[in-house]
Amino acid sequence: MSNTEDSTTSTIVPGPETSTGINHDAGDAAAEDEFVVDPWKVEGVVDYRKLIDRFGAEELSSDHVARMERITGRPAHHFLRRKIFFSHRDIDQILDIAESKKPFYLYTGRGPSSESLHLGHLVPFMFTKYLQDAFNVPLVIQLTDDEKFMWKDLELHEAHRLAYENAKDIIAFGFDPERTFIFSDLDYIDA
């Protein structure tokens, strides 16, 4: 779906667009190298084409979205329809597997460093819930409390407690309890 077909969809960045809504002309070559996107900040005018390339990803096309709808028999998630999610790394492989009715599972995680999840944490879990429901597949959620103990200056018991607090928020998304395995790394370390 292009941006002109859905009045609620806005372009990702101003400028010339392709049918995916991604700006392919973010300025001269010098300006293209001056943006920074990392887990802590976004600086400069982001060239999304270059960002996709830096992350080794590919654009999500309207063909991908249509194929997902055809395979799952349900509408695509609004993050896909509105191009909030605009790139991927393995969607073709996943769609091939799903189309051939071969089993697969989803894997995601959370590094628990606070008592509760914030909006930035919710977005991937919202989409993961959609994927689990759409493909009817198992889900593994890893809570990396050991990593937070090592790198966030947390006491071991506190990192473990935060993992359990975060697990409560994750469970509240309504993942299928018969098809979801949530685990704390600290519970599985053989110490």
Specify the pLDDT at position 129: 98
Residue 187: Cβ within 10 Å count = 12
User: What are phi and psi for residue 156, nearest 5 degrees?
Assistant: -60, -50
Contact of 157 with 114, CB cutoff 8 Å = no
For residue 93 the two structure tokens come to 């492989």
Contact of 21 with 15, CB cutoff 8 Å = no
Sheet holding 139-143, edge to edge: 106-110, 139-143, 180-184
Is pTM beyond 0.85? Reply is no
Alpha helices in 55-144 (DSSP H): 62-72, 78-81, 91-99, 119-135
User: What are phi and psi for residue 140, nearest 5 degrees?
Assistant: -115, 130
For residue 35, what is the DSSP state?
Answer: -
Specify the pLDDT at position 191: 56
Specify the pLDDT at position 33: 63
How far is 104 from 110, CA to CA, in rounded Å? 21
Specify the pLDDT at position 161: 97
Alpha helices in the chain (DSSP H): 29-32, 48-54, 62-72, 78-81, 91-99, 119-135, 145-151, 156-171, 185-188
Positions in the chain whose pLDDT score sits under 70 = 1-33, 190-191
Specify the pLDDT at position 12: 31
How far is 155 from 64, CA to CA, in rounded Å? 44
